[in-house]
């Protein structure tokens, strides 16, 4: 089997489980979780933020662990942590237990990304690396898309869903142990902090703002659809299918950046993500606008994460796991701050003002790239 294909498929599956199931499926089932455990918008926002906080903590450690122990062990660990967290969600009797489980499940995503980047640099030819990385990153969308029909089939039985997701995570741990390289190429003086030049600082700002804005849908998309259209979890499952299916386009992020440059690609998909958020949450939203908005959001979000992935790796080419970590960490830091803030705005000002504010926040991320050359810088 071709090495690039083997690593790409394995990484795609790990990312699908950790991001699509362990992290983003929570927003899909949130309306029924809220109903059973009596959370409310503000508490839901803080619990959702816990998922992103777990990511922030884990991704910092993951980059260091990957450079020390290699991709295989860290990827296996990520899958097992996802399984533990999702078992915790499935068995949660109250909000405190749920918050802890969501934090653990969310931390699996932080563990998963750096070893994938290191595996690609270690074992994949240079001319195939950006394409392979973008393909792996698009695994998020498949996980999200699959969680939608699962919600439809089991009629919102969120405990059963997360139990099943945990089994899949264990299977991916076994596959990772077989297919991923045990060691990674490492730069000299690898344990020193990376140099934060202007390019890296711009990445930090852009990723933070985009991540914060994205929580309007990832954490509250189901809630917005319920408020606007009266949907239950099975109806919201169709929205998640639209978000995830369109997100598969994220596999082409490397091609888009190569053809149009970083700046144009960045601005275009920030704009489309903002439009998607408004189409879901604005006054007058209907079934058609909600599905179109979900597709625009899903495709744009995964392409943007692909842009930040390529941006980070190329900013620190000798330390790819750390370069990826910086961009993805800042997305999660933004999401940690954004989810509680959106919950507060939703609770105090209503859906329309909350969504409008976060759509503007998304566009502000484009300013971090203004004036930069349209390259892989």
Is the pLDDT score of 190 beyond 60? no
- The answer to whether the CB of 75 falls within 8 A of the CB of 112 is yes
Q: How far is C-alpha 225 from the geometric centre of its chain's CA atoms?
A: 20
Distance (Å, whole) CA 191 – CA 331: 23
Instruction: Count Cα atoms within 13 angstroms, Cβ side, for 284.
Output: 2
Distance (Å, whole) CA 116 – CA 133: 8
Distance (Å, whole) CA 377 – CA 373: 8
**Residue in the block written with tokens 């869903």:** 161
Pairwise pLDDT comparison (292 vs 123), residue with the higher score? 292
Distance (Å, whole) CA 241 – CA 164: 18
**Residue in the block written with tokens 């639209």:** 242
Spatial CB neighbours of 269, under 8 Å, sequence gap ≥ 6: 299, 300, 303, 304, 307
Distance (Å, whole) CA 257 – CA 259: 5
Is the pLDDT score of 187 beyond 70? no
pLDDT at 185: 57
pTM: 0.75
| Percent residues over pLDDT 70 in the chain | 92
pLDDT-wise least confident of 17-26, 158-167, 168-177 = 17-26
């Amino acid at each position: 089997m071709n090495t690039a294909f083997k690593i790409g498929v394995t990484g795609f599956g790990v990312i699908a489980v950790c991001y699509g199931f362990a992290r983003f499926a929570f927003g899909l089932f949130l309306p029924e979780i809220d109903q059973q455990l009596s959370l409310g918008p503000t508490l839901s926002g803080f619990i959702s933020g816990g998922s992103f906080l777990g990511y922030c903590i884990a991704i910092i450690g993951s980059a260091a662990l990957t450079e020390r122990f290699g991709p295989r062990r860290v990827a296996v660990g990520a899958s097992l942590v996802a399984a533990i967290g999702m078992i915790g969600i499935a068995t949660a009797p109250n909000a405190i237990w749920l918050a802890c489980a969501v934090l653990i499940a969310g931390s699996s995503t932080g563990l998963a990304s750096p070893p994938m980047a290191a595996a690609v640099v270690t074992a994949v030819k240079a001319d195939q690396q950006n394409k392979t990385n973008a393909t792996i990153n698009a695994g998020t969308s498949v996980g999200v898309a699959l969680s939608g029909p699962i919600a439809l089939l089991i009629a919102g039985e969120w405990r059963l869903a997360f139990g099943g997701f945990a089994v899949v995570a264990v299977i991916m741990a076994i596959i990772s142990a077989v297919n991923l390289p045990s060691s990674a190429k490492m730069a000299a003086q690898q344990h020193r902090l990376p140099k934060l030049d202007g390019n890296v600082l711009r990445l930090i700002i852009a990723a933070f703002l985009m991540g914060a804005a994205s929580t309007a849908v990832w954490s509250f998309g189901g809630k917005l659809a319920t408020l606007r259209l009266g949907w239950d979890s099975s109806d919201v499952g169709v929205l998640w299918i639209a978000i995830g299916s369109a997100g598969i386009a994220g596999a082409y992020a490397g091609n888009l950046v190569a053809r149009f440059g970083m700046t144009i690609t960045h601005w275009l998909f920030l704009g489309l993500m903002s439009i998607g958020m408004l189409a879901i949450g604005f006054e007058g939203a209907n079934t058609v606008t909600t599905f179109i908005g979900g597709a625009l959001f899903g495709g744009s979000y995964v392409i943007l994460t692909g842009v930040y992935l390529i941006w980070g790796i190329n900013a620190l080419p000798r330390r790819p796991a750390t370069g990826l970590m910086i961009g993805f960490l800042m997305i999660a830091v933004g999401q940690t701050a954004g989810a509680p803030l959106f919950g507060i705005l939703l609770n105090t000002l209503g859906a329309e003002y909350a969504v409008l504010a976060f759509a503007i926040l998304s566009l502000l991320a484009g300013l971090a790239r203004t004036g930069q050359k349209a390259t892989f810088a």
